[in-house]
Structure 1
Amino acid sequence: MSLSKANKSAYFAWLKHPGHYLFFKIFIWFWLTIIGTVAALVFLSNITAINAVSNEPLYGPMKKNLIYTAKSIERSAVKHKRTLSEVLVHPRLSKRKLLYLSAAQSDDSLSNKEVPESIDLSLLNFTQNMSPQIIFTEKYQAFGPVNIKVPEGSFYLYEIDINHQPPLIMRFKLMPNWMKIVIAIVASLILSFVFSRNLIAPINSLKKAAIKLSAGNLSARADISVNRKDELGILGRDFNSMANQLELLISSQKRLLADISHELRSPLTRLKMATGLAQMQANDASQSYLLRIEKEANQLDKMIADVLQVSRLEAKSQALSLQKQSLQIIVDHVINDAQFEAKQNNKQLNIVGAVDVNINCDESLIASALENLLRNAIKYANNTISITLKHADAIYIEICDDGSGVPNEQLGKLCEPFFRQSDARDRVSGGTGLGLAIAKNAITAHGGSLVLSNKEQGGLCANITLPLIKE
């Protein structure tokens, strides 16, 4: 299954600024360490490797056996006055492995068997003045030399094992240098990548979980194996424990707020009924006080309704009544109401574009979100509210005012319940700090997003994105 474009971008993001990523630093150090180690091994192996030949001292029974064979050849040649050729064809020696005699003072050589053309025995010449050795080449393994003195002259005896493959370490020594370097680089690259990924994976998981948690996703957890016992494993489990406690506390707080709001509705309803009855019997002097009580009761009723709606949306317990309908019709109804409110405040709405597309939505929720955003823009605009409508791969609605905007550090908090950028200003305008929270949760419930930003010329912009119906 192919990675999405977003996942691919995140996966290769470290390539753009490698110095900023811990993965790259760890990866480079692992790689350089392994390359340095392998390079040292290659250098040390090359010290003892001469022309694709390697050797080490010969000890033990093999050395004794080779010396015994040399003495046997000397005895046969001297005592029985035989030539070396006659000695080597003797059945006792001809049945042995390939025996090779190299003359000390000339290029002459003898053997008890025919030497294959692929075997270059001249590679043994560099050992003639050494003590008995095991000599490794790509084609064969040799034991010797042992000096033999016979009437024909001085010779060096070697026993050749043609079918023997050199040990792994010797085969490595006998490799061409370019092959050693390629193997070292490829192996170290793969190992460094694996080690780095294994080390950085829990950190990336913690990072993603922390970002989701800070964005309000209280169910976000770090994907850390319970079998991981190192510091990163402990850190991941501590983070998940903290997230569990945080989710429990915030959920309890929201549930308590919703329960209190629900319980307040009954006495509030009785208060409104009592106020209505009192208005029927009150004289003119008392009517103004009763009207004030009625107004505050209605305001409190609206606030409680908003709290309950936010609680249901955040808890995802509100069932959406989704229907396929024209978004433009919903927008037109909301804008018509907003036009009336804007005129009352001597402000103007400028509308550009249209969204004449169908959308699966809960009409009341989408209308409520747009209404809250437009009312917020009307409250804080100086003169003009701009509304831009368009659709392409998705539906885009932008609502901007020409007010003073808000400090950038507070943009992320505007959609939090009960957050108000200025208490004094909101008291004058009657704000409760719930309108933007309702708008954001309503849009999110439809698979969309709400992003708030300041305009360069001044003022606040609300950018809404909603998905199109997939045909």
Structure 2
Amino acid sequence: MRVPRAGARMKPVRPLGLFSSLKLELATIIVTATAIAFAMCWFLLKFGWSGWIAMPLTLVVALSFTYYFSRGLTAPLRQMRDAAEAMAEGDYSVRVDLDSTRHDEVGQLARSFNEMAEELEHADQMRRDMVANVSHELRTPVSALQAMVENMADGVVEPTPANMESILNQTRRLSDLIAFLLDLSRMEAGAASLNIERFDVGEFLDETVEPLEIADAGHAHDIRMRVDGDIMMEGDQDRLRQLFTNIIANALKHSADGTTVLVEAREDETHGTVVVNVINFGSQIPVSDRSDIFRRFVKGKTGPGTESGGTGLGLSIARWAAQLHGGTVKVVDDARGADFEITLPKYHISE
């Protein structure tokens, strides 16, 4: 069952659009119907009609008037009933056809219903995208592993250190994807405990960057650190390491070989925050894409029409880790290149 979109059906008459309350509209209809019934009855009796004829005729006219005009008031309720039945069958594209000038309780309910339908449609699309993306991301390393192991079992290739390293890389990719999915499930459930401790930001960033530099071997990226003095803050180092690892790894992924990625950290004493900027020189992110890149399973572009690869979860998890600490991650304008600005409170406030 599918409910027609806006404009696909004739709208019931609703002449009382000046009222912003359903009670006033119903009261007006009832008072008007009563007045019509009284006037009609008086008129018929005055001209000699029998009361046994005048009264039923008057009631029919009054009820017809009430029914005709009340249909316009309750039309969105009927549409919501039909739309709810369609949504129960999996069609989330249905909407309630609503007059934009209607501001009574039914109008407000219909607008809320349409907003809910849009959210459900978006969530359903995200679910479909997630299944498709996860299936693809799992199939690629599993297929590669299967092919390499089968070739070794058949004696086609030798278990050389290079081949074993290739297998290890695929298993690491699978492990990373599983870790991302576990983080995603925690993010969806809102379940994430924080182990708060005080630490030095400069030392923490050094420890975070070191394994990234090792993993980046062969691309000749130069990760430069600029920390403005000794900065101490409170937070969960494991969660924050996820945050900075994903942001810096994203910068390395979108930087040409042999280029520089700059990590700048400073303290904003006015607002009691620590601000870290991760900049990869040369590339820029269009303003229209800056909010979308933090959505789950949205992948960046390494070139025109070319996706960067990966899971499309890294930046989403980075934003989640920042929000757990009451902080933010956003892309800011910077003539030097793509600039991800992470703002975190220096001191953790327990809820």
Relative to the length of structure 1, the TM-score reads: 0.42
* Match runs of 1:167-206 below 5 Å: none
**Cα 1:324/1:295, change in 2 over 3 Å:** closer
For the residue of structure 1 that corresponds to 2:262, the secondary structure is strand
For the residue of structure 2 that corresponds to 1:237, the secondary structure is helix
Matched, 1:399 2:278: yes
For the residue of structure 1 that corresponds to 2:225, the secondary structure is strand
Q: Deviations over 1:292-347 (max 9, x none)?
A: 6775565355334324423431x243322322131524322112223435564222
Per the TM alignment, residue 402 of structure 1 is displaced from its structure 2 partner at its CA by 0.6
**Cα 1:367/1:240, change in 2 over 3 Å:** same
Instruction: From 374, 378, 387, give the equivalent of 2:248.
Output: 374
* Match runs of 1:24-423 below 5 Å: 231=103, 233-251=105-123, 278=150, 281-285=153-157, 295-296=169-170, 298-313=172-187, 315-328=188-201, 329-341=203-215, 344-352=218-226, 353-354=228-229, 356-361=231-236, 363-382=237-256, 383-391=259-267, 392=269, 393-422=272-301
Q: Deviations over 1:34-79 (max 9, x none)?
A: xxxxxxxxxxxxxxxxxxxxxxxxxxxxxxxxxxxxxxxxxxxxxx
How far apart are the structure 2 equivalents of 1:468 and 1:275? Answer: 49
- Structure 2 counterpart of 1:463: 341
**Cα 1:235/1:384, change in 2 over 3 Å:** farther
Q: Deviations over 1:127-153 (max 9, x none)?
A: xxxxxxxxxxxxxxxxxxxxxxxxxxx
Contact 1:339 1:349 in 2 (8 A): yes
For the residue of structure 2 that corresponds to 1:350, the secondary structure is strand
How far apart are the structure 1 equivalents of 2:290 and 2:140? Answer: 34
Per the TM alignment, residue 233 of structure 1 is displaced from its structure 2 partner at its CA by 4.5
Q: What letter corresponds to residue 467 of structure 1 in structure 2?
A: P
- Structure 1 counterpart of 2:85: none
Contact 2:145 2:167 in 1 (8 A): no
How far apart are the structure 2 equivalents of 1:413 and 1:355? Answer: 35
Per the TM alignment, residue 248 of structure 1 is displaced from its structure 2 partner at its CA by 3.6
Q: Relative contact order: is structure 1 or structure 2 higher (C-alpha 8 Å, sep ≥ 6)?
A: 2
Contact 1:347 1:384 in 2 (8 A): yes
**Cα 1:366/1:253, change in 2 over 3 Å:** farther
**Cα 1:417/1:367, change in 2 over 3 Å:** same
**Cα 1:232/1:404, change in 2 over 3 Å:** farther
**Cα 1:282/1:246, change in 2 over 3 Å:** same
Contact 1:373 1:399 in 2 (8 A): yes
Contact 1:406 1:454 in 2 (8 A): no
RMSD between superposed Cα atoms in Å: 4.2
Instruction: Note the residue ranges of structure 1 that are not aligned, 5 or more in a row.
Output: 1-228
Contact 2:325 2:348 in 1 (8 A): no
Per the TM alignment, residue 401 of structure 1 is displaced from its structure 2 partner at its CA by 1.3
Q: Deviations over 1:382-406 (max 9, x none)?
A: 5222211122211111111112212
How far apart are the structure 1 equivalents of 2:213 and 2:140? Answer: 32
- Point out the structure with max Rg over C-alpha: 1
How far apart are the structure 1 equivalents of 2:183 and 2:197? Answer: 23
**Cα 1:408/1:273, change in 2 over 3 Å:** closer
Contact 1:360 1:469 in 2 (8 A): yes
How far apart are the structure 1 equivalents of 2:283 and 2:155? Answer: 46
For the residue of structure 2 that corresponds to 1:231, the secondary structure is coil
How far apart are the structure 1 equivalents of 2:192 and 2:148? Answer: 34
Identity %: 17
**Cα 1:286/1:339, change in 2 over 3 Å:** closer
Instruction: From 307, 325, 329, give the equivalent of 1:450.
Output: 329
- Structure 2 counterpart of 1:139: none
Contact 1:387 1:400 in 2 (8 A): yes
Q: What letter corresponds to residue 344 of structure 2 in structure 1?
A: L
How far apart are the structure 2 equivalents of 1:265 and 1:406? Answer: 25
**Cα 1:247/1:429, change in 2 over 3 Å:** closer
How far apart are the structure 2 equivalents of 1:237 and 1:400? Answer: 46
